[in-house]
Amino acid sequence: MSSMDIDKQSALVEKYMDFEELQDPEELQKFITRFAAMYDLQNDTGSDPLVSLFSRSASSISADTLLSIAQLKNS
């Protein structure tokens, strides 16, 4: 996807995401919860979530991703 034309990328993202809906704090929280659950399923985070908060492993969400999510929530 990164090699696609930016307008095509935008159209693809807009096809699957309703950005107006994310302005509602309740809908945004649902989105973040679903994202976190899907990430955990795809990245086999079967360990105790509390332990993973304090450990530095390669399978954790990057700081950049967490910052992006936090900025979405505060928008």
Which residue is listed with tokens 């990328």?
Answer: 9
pLDDT recorded at residue 56: 60
pLDDT tens sequence across 4-39 = 899 999 899 889 888 888 899 999 999 899 888 888
Q: What digits encode the pLDDT tens for the residues 44-73?
A: 666 666 666 666 655 567 777 777 877 776
Q: Please state whether 43 falls in left (phi above 0), alpha (psi between -120 and 50) or beta.
A: alpha
Q: Are 19 and 53 in contact (CB under 8 A)?
A: no
Helix (H, G, I), strand (E, B) or coil at 18: coil
- Supply the pLDDT for residue 69: 79
Token pair in block for residue 36: 């976190």
The pTM of the full predicted model, rounded to 2 decimals, is 0.48
Distance of CA 63 to the CA centre of its chain: 12
Q: What are phi and psi of 61, to 5 degrees?
A: -70, 135
